[in-house]
Amino acid sequence: MTLAATAPPSPRPVAATTYVRLAGLVLALAAFVVALGPPRRLAQALGSRLGERTPVWFQRLLCAGLGVSVRPHGAVAAERPLLIVANHVSWLDIPVLGSLAPMSFLAKKEVGDHPLGRALVALQGVVYVDRERRRFIPAVNARMAETMRAGSPVVLFAEATTGDGARLLRFRSSHFEAIRQAAIADPHAAAAIQPVYLRYGRLGGLPIVRFALARVAWYGDTTFAPHFWRYVGGAGAACDVVFGDPIRVTPDMDRKTAARLTEAAVRRLASEARGRRA
């Protein structure tokens, strides 16, 4: 009996919505970098607060281009200086959080090695950290404290890496020292940490199942480009951003205590969010 050769499966066609999403992404980048970037940089150079919401508009355009629906539960706390501490699931976390309010991010040094990445994060607001050189941590913490004291909340992904979206990793305490330094510099200020939990609960309008989390969660050895194309090749995601109550920070609170209290608060938010209907 002769067996007929089996043709390889046809590649999955790219949905028209993917092209629309990518077009929106390109337009968002162009609008921000070309049209809004120079005024933003001028305002920064002059020490003006004019244009501080420009990054928020950019991140909203970016989320629209990527098909990300951001669903906030609560809001950024009014306390200042403020350290926002969130779990880390994906490269999408930055546009998701940045679309809600003006804020700065702690970013790995490698992000600034590429000219485009350097231009984008500089306009957003960034403090770089080299995780391979721990001796630079005090300088990074000092820069974070300075940024927070100037009025901009700083976002810290305390797990120091991305996770699979299904569980939380242990929080690292190194950069919690920054908010303590801000509290020491001005003991009368309302220095605080705000715990935040990010939950990607839906894909294409349907509740996300565990095996599909990898389309959103960026972890392990997966490089950025393959993960990006895997994500944009399918339906968009919905992310719930759950804000917790601020944790007051006093000059005598050490970084390990701050990390432990914050991790416990984020775990409580995660438990509540998972019990809520997606």
What pTM was estimated for this model as a whole? 0.86
Q: How far apart are CA 62 and CA 129, in angstroms?
A: 24
**pLDDT, position 158:** 96
> Which of 230, 194, 261, 205 minimizes the C-alpha distance to 90?
230
Q: How far apart are CA 89 and CA 199, in angstroms?
A: 8
Q: What is the pLDDT of residues 201-222, one digit of tens each?
A: 999 888 988 778 889 998 888 8
Evaluate whether 153 touches 86 at the Cβ level (below 8 Å): no
3-state helix, strand, coil in the chain (%, to 5): 45, 15, 35
Q: What is the pLDDT of residues 65-118, one digit of tens each?
A: 888 999 999 999 999 999 999 999 998 999 899 999 999 998 776 555 555 555
Q: How far apart are CA 203 and CA 68, in angstroms?
A: 9
Q: Which token pair is 12?
A: 């999955």
User: What are the b/e assignments for 240-268, b being 16+ CB within 10 Å?
Assistant: bbbbbebbebeeebebeebbebbbebbbe
